[in-house]
Structure 1
Amino acid sequence: MTEEKDEKEMTFTEREQWLRDRGVEIVNPGQKAAESAADGVLSITQQLSKLDVDNEPQGPQADGSVPFVLIPCDDTKPLRTLRVPPKSGGGGDWIPDYIKPHFADSKSIDVSLLQQQATKHFAGGQLEDLAKNGNQISAAAMNAVAAEGSVETFPLVHPSVSNNSQGVYIYLDEVGLLKKLPPNRRATQLATGCGYHPPPQFYGDVFVGRVGSKPVLRNLPFCAGIDTDPAAPWLLAAPQENVAWQQEMNRVTNRQGASQPAHAGTEGTQVEEDNYAWSQEDDDVELVVSFDNDIDKKQLKVKFLSKNISVIYQGNPKLSLKLYAAIDVDACTWTIDGGKKLVITCEKANPGELWPRVKE
């Protein structure tokens, strides 16, 4: 097997071997029974390869394992309940370590996109230190981290007195955006239901689990179809609890009006590029190209392709742009504003996906 082989073409055995060749430890109960209390609980890779819709355990079992949920990025696939074994040596949240092999793959990352995102928050994953180096990050270093797998934890609701010190968290591939994985709309909808506005964008498969913080930190049951129901008590209470938590954090840190940073080009703001500006809504992207003199429509040609926009004026190229993601060519339009501004409006092929940038 060569590294050039597409990951989708790998068999289960080839995938495990590919991970082991890169130093990723895959825990099999038969191999590691003496080192773990997880006898009888399959590795995350094995569980995902053996999912059975009619055999999803819903509560604690005799082996001590705890259910948590997989939300595939593919909307056609159902949410599934998996199990994390008890952490060897005591309490704690073991889900990040346990699911790490699932995010270890051969996909390369977009280092230029990382450098644009380097000033943003990497919440507790392995990239936090690398991100501080900004433009000094090498492709080799980043791909090495991606090959090992890196897990980011996002709080849907924080532990508090009102929820019996039980938080609910999303666990995601920390470099999912940089790998250009597809957006996970159901995970974003879940965050919206918890009161996040605007909600964060998640990329690729994600997992959701519950963690108790008292009397000790530990994993608690979280099941598909029960805890993911829109009427689940924790979800109904989450918006109010998150507001209360944020207000308390603002009081403690003496910050007022703290909120999530907006996505590029959103909330009515334009991003200025070399020879154009752009902004976006959930469903469309708008480009504004300025000219020195009034535009002659007869001399103007605007061409739309799936991921490209080109503007020719008086026989000369004015703009040639390869887009970050696909657009609906049939729904693209352009107008002239004030004589000297060309306004191009493109409908996104995947409505609801906020782009981190407009260029690929």
Structure 2
Amino acid sequence: MFKYVFIPANDSKPIELREGDKSGGLNDDVLSKTAKRYFFENSDKGARAAALNDATPEQRRALAEQLREEARAAGASSSYASQMAALDDDALIGIMRYGSTHTSETCEITALTVPTPSNQQRAVSMYSADDARARNLSYNRRATELLVACGHNIAAGGEPSPSRASPGAAPPGGMCGDVFVGRCHDDERADVWERVDFTVEDCSPHAGWCEVARRPGGGGGAAGGGGGARSLSGLMNQNSLIASGANAGGGEGGGFREGEADGYTWFQNDEEVELRFPVSVGTKAKYVKINFGTTTLKVVVAGQKLLSGSLGGKVEVDDCTFTIEDANSGTGKELCVTLGKKEGNTWPFVIRDE
């Protein structure tokens, strides 16, 4: 068993210590499953999913046309709008059911720390509702203070104007809604991933692990000047560069082998890089456009840009491919992009967004 915590957004409610079975490891992580189920049950996602499942043929046609109209009204590119128009009704319903966070069990994972030698390869993550701000959930002061204590600059976009912000309003990057927090031991070289305890005492902004996190290379947001914590792979890249003595522009050594970023997961070994993007069940190869460059990558699906940026090394363009496969989670589809490396080594980072 392992311990983790639940931090209510309501300050009058105490932080709860909970336990879970760690025998499932990374592939069947109890904390991740618990968080996703909690946020699903405390939203209207279930009702939306049921409405899709129970929709009559006429309602399905109306829903599909509504999605097309929303794409046009949102000011999307003409290419994207035309791609949406080309999809049949079943494909569009698939986008709504499987490719949308509005009807599935999902959550946002914020990396408070990533594993580094300085923190004994201990990662601490915060799980929250991925639509917390869209639903105007209450500001979670205690969770935000923990985020700041790890060195993350939540006010990168500027503090709210006093004349416009309501009392207790969340600053840009602050946490909203209830959250779960857990810790794991993650040592890629030793091939170890295991849940370890995170207690109520660890929730104090003055806890020793927070102090370590704020140090350069300590795993927290101090890397790169205290940036936000939304991109797990970005935070891992920052800390690996600091640990290796490289600057933000690159450098060798300290590269991580796998991670998660906004909208995709990635893995690398000495020969190739693999990126996986969740896509709708109706996605076909003709809707996918990928520009493979020697040092750049751009991924577009149905006219929507999923990724564009500079790679952490050079690739052999002829060795770069993509496939559409069943998702590893067992639900939905994934676009799998494979990049063949020009030189056999571990990149210090996978890709930096434009």
TM-score, scaled to structure 1 = 0.41
Which protein, 1 or 2, shows the higher relative CO under an 8 Å CA cutoff with sep ≥ 6?
2
State which structure, 1 or 2, has the greater radius of gyration over its C-alpha atoms. 1
TM-score, scaled to structure 2 = 0.41
